[in-house]
Structure 1
Amino acid sequence: MASAFESFKVVHQYQLSSIPEELWQPLFMKLGEDYLDAGKGNVAEIHLGDPMKGYSLHVKADKSLKKHRQVQLLVSERSTRVDIFLIDHAWITSPENAKQELRLNVALMDRLENLMNIEQVDAPENSDDEEEDDDKPDAELIQLVASQANVSEKEAETALIAENNEVVNAIMRLTIDPEQQAETEKLDDLMMKQILASGKPQEKGDKEQQERIKRREQREKDWINERVDTIYNKMWSYIQTYTYSILQKDGQPTPQTAWYINDEVGSAICHSSDPNVICLPFIFSRGASGMIPYSVFFPIKDIAGGDIITCDLLPKNVERESDKLAYLLAFQDRVLLTGDTERKRNELIQAFKAEHERLKNQKCTLAETLSSEQVLEAFKKEAAEAKTKADSIIVWTDTTFVQQFLKLGNVKFTDDPAKADIIWSCHDFQKWDSLSPHQTVNQFPNEKCITFKHNMAELIRKTYGLPDWYMPTYNIMTQLSEVVGDYLNSEDSQETNLWILKPWNFARGLGLDITKNLSEIIRQHDNSVPKIAQRYLVSPCLYNGKKFDLRYIVLVRRTEPNLIAFVYNMFWTRLANKKYSLDSLDDYECQFTVMNYSKYEMTQLDYKSFIHSMEKQHAIKWDVVQKDINNAMKKVLAAAAFTSQPLGLAHTTPNKFDAFSVYGFDIMLTDDFKPVVIEANFSPDCTRACQYDPEFVNNIFSLVDGRFGTTEKGLDAFTAL
């Protein structure tokens, strides 16, 4: 039977490959005992402010650490010393759950604040102002005293404060004189009877108590949120990742990323480009007992007593020198300073400025596109030359709204794509070689050039430079130094430095984060879901104080030899639920508009009513705005149509099949009514469109194939781009 150590090696072989073999058995022994000896004061100690602002880990003055080649000798001599150490994980989380986890765990907040050297904000107490507010007389009492004493409300309030809100005493103070002395007792009895009969003292006391409780709860909530925000912003300098796989139902592994923060010892290990230890995660399997995540570190140099312990925090996949400079800015408090930090920072800014100037002056070299009038003329001519109306056109689709709403008289559905004249799939189509010349498919090869956000950004940048209808956008995986240079330049210019982080290929508002934290932007480089960083539109056009975006359905009938595209005249206005404010960046209902896939209620606006209200509120002509919107969408499509693959759609050899595509373009407007293209969505869900307009699908198919015999009717629903 294999020994426990041999089983340990088999189970953990991939992780052990990063650790010198002579350290495996000492590691196994420590894991079995959960022996976290590095933090027990045996070898290392934590310093504050030496040599950096935060915490750092040092070898104790009377100790030393030896490189692993010497450990083998020591072990063979039965020495008790082993220079490999376990580190516990203080917190395992995910960016999307981190804030909520913190709010629910005050002890964790206390620990992380200490670990990150965050000065804790004192818990709220009842302020003097609140006590004064609590003692302030009720408005009804002031009016009562003023009327009974025949004085102003100001005088009545002063008297009530002086008499500790005793109504009778306040009135006596204002009215007492020798002639009225005899009436005092009568007044006393009368007033107290009135007050008691009304029940006001108890009602007033209950109301004030509830208000005090609400104020106290709000202060505590604000206090917790302030602490949570501070920890969340700082955690990006400490959090680390490891990747593991989960088997799906089809047996395919899906990579997942776990985010963790090492304990106080591990978090005190600073970065150096010339490190003396290696620190890495190690997930220990205890069999039926489950998995326990640790980190381990071991020296790769001899380290003398008193010396600082450092590791390399730079991932191996960060290769460009400029990206290495940019990445380490996420760890500003944990980098062993070399004296040239400011120089490196300026390098990134100057590189950004030079590239920005080049892009700003870039000239578009695309071939000229047809005007909307020419597009319409060319399409009508093509339709007139098409075959006459067919008795039947066979359609295959896996899309529910097409199955439900396609009602043209000569349509016949099939379950076999090979027999179809038109194929409409809501999934990424790959079987291009299976298509026949008579078939038409609802996708273009490589249309991810615009439906993937990072690809669209690259296409626009290389085609147009920095157009005013698209926000500056960077692929964090390949343009880390560019986005950091932009951020730092804006910081120096005191611009609003707000960014939105988006996954390359998620839709429905998934995975979006708004941030002004440079470390958070940089650390998205370690996310298993690759993201872009895009400047946030901080001055959007508002509808009754709320953000909105516009969803347009665009049909691209062909891209060669000319771009032939149409936009559906009906569009959808998606409205935020709350009024827009930059003070509420964490409030989804304030910052975002896509509610139909979330837990929030969705506000929909009829497009005709929306246009009427916009023209009335802002004294604008919507036709002018719509023309600008159409022009921006057309520019995106033109860049794709006339740029060769893989950057665009154009290909060197003609397809043996016909193709068209339908995209969902999302548009926002600036506060001066200029369009900004947000994204183009692949195979948009048009169920709502069909509910608003039952002819929606019929109109699209009427333009796709002239043999339906309804081209003219279909054109009425579209505007040529």
Structure 2
Amino acid sequence: MLDYGRFEAIHKQQLEALDLPRALWKVLHKKIVQESFDIGEWVVFAEAEADNDDSNSCAAGITNSRLCLNKEELAALETVFLVDHAWTTSISQALSDLNNIPGLLERMERLTGVYESKNEAPQAFRAENVESTVTVNVPAVVSQTGVSEERARELLQRTGGDIVEAIMMANDETANGGGAGNNMPEHIQSQILQQLETSSEQNGKKPTKWATRSYECIQHSLDGGNELDGIEIRLPLAPGVQSGETKCAVLPSHLTVSIAGRTIIDGDLHAQVDTSISTWSIEDGVLCIALVKQKPEYWSEAIVGESRISPKLHQKHLLRVFRELWRYLQGYDYLAQGADQSISKRTNWYVQDEVGLAVAHCDDPNVRCLPFLYVNDHGQMMPYSILWPIKSITQGEPLSRDYCPRWLTDPIQRAAYLQAIFQGPTQGMLNAREQLVRKWNQIAADATRSTLAIQPTPTQHLRSLYVRDATSEVQSAITTAGYDLASTPEDADVVFDDIQHEGKLTCRHGINTALIDTDSAIATFQHVAGAQSWLSKGFSLRTQIAEFIGTALVDTNAWWLLTSAQTQPGVASPQILTSSWVAAVRHADVGYSTATECNLFTAVPDRLFLAEWIVLLTPDRGVYLWGESPRFIQHKLEMLDDSPAPYQALAPASAVSEDELKRSIANQLGSESFVEFTTKSEHAIADAVNLLLSAVSGPENKFGVFRFRFALEKGPDSMLPVLHEARTMTVAEQLSQSPNFIPAIAAVLSGRSSRTQWRQIGLE
């Protein structure tokens, strides 16, 4: 048990950040160690009144229940309550949790009102030869969707002969992405089933593998022969489930399975099994039950009365449930240390239990309810929500909290944020978008551009360099290039340091501040350039929520890249890629500050390709590109079927050669498009620097080194560059380049650079 002294020492910073009054700290400690969830002694559930269209009003709730005080009075700051979480997960784990944690999907279905169809998807009988299955099923797809035979065959080939999935894909195309979902009319399902039965008769095959919501079944021959004398039932286990929490009882005609105290299977087997040689084991997080049949024969079901599902349709159902859950999810972040000792910020998302969900929203709330991460004496983290009254509450009065983050005070942006929870009228967001578009267009029309140097940098007498934390390899390269190493900035002609040194030629150009001290370089460019063909749409999730939602409502197929403001040096936060504006808005709760439209290259849907240029800006406004630019990189995307997962943390970037990239998109665009892409990218860099120079002033004896990254967007007949990121390169990042990188910069500043190292652009 964690005593109070250690509790305060471990949690002091967190409790102060939550603004929990110190007088309640000991109360909280006592309730945690005693696991006292005593809020039920103070409140009762009450049915919500008729819906109020004004989601900003008091007592507007996300569920149909309200939590009302059941005692005469609860004074402000009188006590603090623990509120449990029904589910805690992460973006990468959520779908697996919904599929594997017993009872979780059903609980979340009840919460969201999104249910799987009662008409179970018919199980397709497959021929061993997929092509014959495709041929048999073409007429059914044509008759039910109206597509051509050629298109029906193509869809069936893409789905491996899965007729249900092919019909859904055809309906999705017809509805422009609306999709038939799992609401396929019963008469269509009946016709599909008849067609499948016909296929079964013609091919003489019956399914030996199928799935239910809880388990998978595989029939097989134990000795590799033709008799189906074995059947395996496989149940995935949720993370953290121990082997001792798994119980399995195999009787000749009955099977019972319980996991973590919850019964998963309790039913009669299709036929008898030999219990003396039937076994069960846990392998790689999966409970495997290997049953040996008493009589070798085909089983049409493993457990009598089981309901089968189509795994693909079930996966789509999980996505629908998770999509709706963003209304209810709340988040918190924490720091974690990786195997390489690096520190990164991670985010967990949670759904409160029925008590927490019944606390209504109010602009003028009477309680505060926030996540609290308790660390016990074994170092284990245990998440709760803590709730305490900030006003006196009288009997019968509903408990209410502010659903908006505490930093969000602007009325328009608050209303927009609540749109992600209550999903009311959207005209206000659409109007905000229109105003912003007009503003961007006006900025673009009025934008002024500076003049870049039209001649190489004039020769200067530079002899000594000071480079903070220079490696021995860089020091050797500097001396080999004919420069002296200065021991202090005062003794140097050129200073490579991230801090200002007055009167010295140093890498602290005025543009540095614009690209390093803001959450988003895209927002910086939009402020000075407005709408440009090479510029993505970017929005602040603190000040432009309404404009962002309005844009997302219009650009329904857009993907958004979410970036977190880096508040702690050396702590990395993963970028989030999502197609859901609701998920994007909710990420504002956990420090994600910008949403930038991300153009996925449809020719290769499982990759996000970027081209990176390193740019040098000299004091006389010369713009140079590093000779090794562009460098192509890729982010591998998590895929669900043939599409990127709609919510994912962006994987770390890896290098990709130009030849490999050309091969990846050879079927879409020719290799000559790379030349055009490079030319357009260079023009975009020159234009971007021009625009920034017109808006930013600074000392004339400064230079800057920057990294520009462009996404590859597919145009009608070529690749188009769209600015993805632009930021200042720190000296440490410059040192991570080749040892000759910094001496080559000095050569440009001296007016004696060769085109193989730095190449000037923007020349008239």
TM-score by length of 2: 0.62
Structure with more strand by fraction = 2
> Are the counterparts in 2 of residues 360 and 466 from structure 1 also a CA contact under 8 Å?
yes
Residue 711 in structure 1 maps to residue 731 in structure 2: no
The corresponding residue for 2:218 is none
> Are the counterparts in 1 of residues 563 and 594 from structure 2 also a CA contact under 8 Å?
yes
The corresponding residue for 2:726 is 680
The corresponding residue for 2:65 is 57
| 1:636-660 Cα shifts (integer Å, max 9, x gaps) | 212222213xxxxx13xx46xx332
Secondary structure of the residue aligned to 1:458 is helix
Secondary structure of the residue aligned to 1:359 is helix
What is the aligned residue count? 590
| 1:454-509 Cα shifts (integer Å, max 9, x gaps) | 3422332222211111111011122222212322344xxxx424322123459999
Residue 629 in structure 1 maps to residue 681 in structure 2: yes
Partners of 1:10 and 1:361 in 2: CA distance: 53
Secondary structure of the residue aligned to 2:711 is strand
The corresponding residue for 2:531 is 466
Q: CA deviation at 1:536?
A: 2.3
Query: Pairwise mapping of residues 251-290 of structure 1 onto structure 2 (< 5 A)?
Result: 259-281=349-371
| 1:210-259 Cα shifts (integer Å, max 9, x gaps) | 9x999xx9978657744653454344323335678999xxxxx9998765
Instruction: Check 1:313–1:113 CA distance in 2 against 1; reply closer, same or farther (3 A cut).
Output: same
Instruction: Check 1:205–1:512 CA distance in 2 against 1; reply closer, same or farther (3 A cut).
Output: farther
Q: CA deviation at 1:695?
A: 6.3
The corresponding residue for 2:590 is 527
The corresponding residue for 1:662 is 705
Residue 358 in structure 1 maps to residue 435 in structure 2: no
The corresponding residue for 1:337 is none
Q: Which moved more, 1:457-466 or 1:318-327?
A: 457-466
The corresponding residue for 2:85 is 89
Partners of 1:37 and 1:503 in 2: CA distance: 37
The corresponding residue for 2:303 is none
The corresponding residue for 1:44 is 44
Structure with more helix by fraction = 1
1:536 pairs with one of 585, 598, 605: 598
One-letter amino acid matched to 1:700? I
Partners of 1:203 and 1:404 in 2: CA distance: 70
Partners of 2:118 and 2:474 in 1: CA distance: 58
> Are the counterparts in 2 of residues 699 and 713 from structure 1 also a CA contact under 8 Å?
no
1:346 pairs with one of 403, 419, 427: 427
Secondary structure of the residue aligned to 2:644 is coil
2:657 pairs with one of 596, 604, 611: 604
| 1:8-59 Cα shifts (integer Å, max 9, x gaps) | 89987848964696x888767655643323347x741265897589634335
Query: Pairwise mapping of residues 100-499 of structure 1 onto structure 2 (< 5 A)?
Result: 105-114=101-110, 116-121=111-116, 127-130=122-125, 133=127, 161=201, 202=224, 222=312, 225-226=315-316, 228-241=318-331, 259-281=349-371, 293-298=384-389, 300=391, 302-305=393-396, 308-332=398-422, 341-342=424-425, 345-363=426-444, 365=446, 367-370=448-451, 375-377=453-455, 379=456, 382-383=458-459, 386-387=460-461, 393-400=464-471, 402-403=474-475, 406=478, 408-425=480-497, 429-430=498-499, 432-433=500-501, 435=502, 437=503, 439-445=504-510, 447-451=512-516, 454-490=519-555, 495-499=556-560
Instruction: Check 1:605–1:322 CA distance in 2 against 1; reply closer, same or farther (3 A cut).
Output: same
One-letter amino acid matched to 2:553? L
Q: CA deviation at 1:518?
A: 2.6
Secondary structure of the residue aligned to 1:471 is coil
Instruction: Check 1:565–1:57 CA distance in 2 against 1; reply closer, same or farther (3 A cut).
Output: same
Aligned-residue sequence identity (percent) comes to: 17
The corresponding residue for 2:693 is 641
> Are the counterparts in 2 of residues 569 and 718 from structure 1 also a CA contact under 8 Å?
no
Q: CA deviation at 1:447?
A: 0.6
Partners of 1:702 and 1:586 in 2: CA distance: 47
Instruction: Check 1:569–1:477 CA distance in 2 against 1; reply closer, same or farther (3 A cut).
Output: same
Secondary structure of the residue aligned to 2:112 is coil
Partners of 1:661 and 1:420 in 2: CA distance: 17
Partners of 1:300 and 1:605 in 2: CA distance: 63
Q: CA deviation at 1:323?
A: 0.8
Q: Which moved more, 1:665-674 or 1:447-456?
A: 447-456
Secondary structure of the residue aligned to 2:519 is helix
Partners of 2:364 and 2:392 in 1: CA distance: 10
Instruction: Check 1:412–1:287 CA distance in 2 against 1; reply closer, same or farther (3 A cut).
Output: same
Instruction: Check 1:460–1:669 CA distance in 2 against 1; reply closer, same or farther (3 A cut).
Output: same
2:670 pairs with one of 608, 618, 624: 618
Instruction: Check 1:158–1:27 CA distance in 2 against 1; reply closer, same or farther (3 A cut).
Output: closer
| 1:99-137 Cα shifts (integer Å, max 9, x gaps) | 5655663454444444x334443799894423x658999
Q: Which runs of 5+ in 2 are unaligned?
A: 52-59, 134-196, 207-220, 237-287, 289-307, 338-342
Secondary structure of the residue aligned to 1:86 is strand
Larger radius of gyration between Structure 1 and Structure 2:
1
> Are the counterparts in 2 of residues 703 and 715 from structure 1 also a CA contact under 8 Å?
no
One-letter amino acid matched to 2:116? V
Partners of 1:418 and 1:620 in 2: CA distance: 50
> Are the counterparts in 2 of residues 271 and 313 from structure 1 also a CA contact under 8 Å?
yes
Q: CA deviation at 1:325?
A: 0.5
One-letter amino acid matched to 1:36? F
Q: CA deviation at 1:698?
A: 5.0
> Are the counterparts in 2 of residues 352 and 485 from structure 1 also a CA contact under 8 Å?
yes
Instruction: Check 1:500–1:458 CA distance in 2 against 1; reply closer, same or farther (3 A cut).
Output: closer
Partners of 1:279 and 1:470 in 2: CA distance: 40
> Are the counterparts in 2 of residues 323 and 480 from structure 1 also a CA contact under 8 Å?
yes
Secondary structure of the residue aligned to 1:632 is helix
One-letter amino acid matched to 2:653? M
Partners of 1:524 and 1:351 in 2: CA distance: 21
> Are the counterparts in 1 of residues 478 and 484 from structure 2 also a CA contact under 8 Å?
no
Instruction: Check 1:264–1:105 CA distance in 2 against 1; reply closer, same or farther (3 A cut).
Output: same
Instruction: Check 1:666–1:611 CA distance in 2 against 1; reply closer, same or farther (3 A cut).
Output: farther
Instruction: Check 1:219–1:667 CA distance in 2 against 1; reply closer, same or farther (3 A cut).
Output: farther
Instruction: Check 1:552–1:299 CA distance in 2 against 1; reply closer, same or farther (3 A cut).
Output: closer
- Alpha-carbon RMSD across the aligned residues, in angstroms, is 5.5
Instruction: Check 1:287–1:322 CA distance in 2 against 1; reply closer, same or farther (3 A cut).
Output: same
Instruction: Check 1:687–1:7 CA distance in 2 against 1; reply closer, same or farther (3 A cut).
Output: closer
> Are the counterparts in 2 of residues 56 and 270 from structure 1 also a CA contact under 8 Å?
no
Secondary structure of the residue aligned to 2:403 is coil
Partners of 1:207 and 1:108 in 2: CA distance: 34
One-letter amino acid matched to 1:660? F
One-letter amino acid matched to 1:704? L
| 1:251-294 Cα shifts (integer Å, max 9, x gaps) | xx999876543222112222133545443445668778977634
Residue 595 in structure 1 maps to residue 653 in structure 2: yes
Partners of 2:374 and 2:535 in 1: CA distance: 48
Secondary structure of the residue aligned to 1:637 is helix
One-letter amino acid matched to 1:632? A
Instruction: Check 1:441–1:264 CA distance in 2 against 1; reply closer, same or farther (3 A cut).
Output: same
The corresponding residue for 1:700 is 745
Instruction: Check 1:468–1:219 CA distance in 2 against 1; reply closer, same or farther (3 A cut).
Output: farther
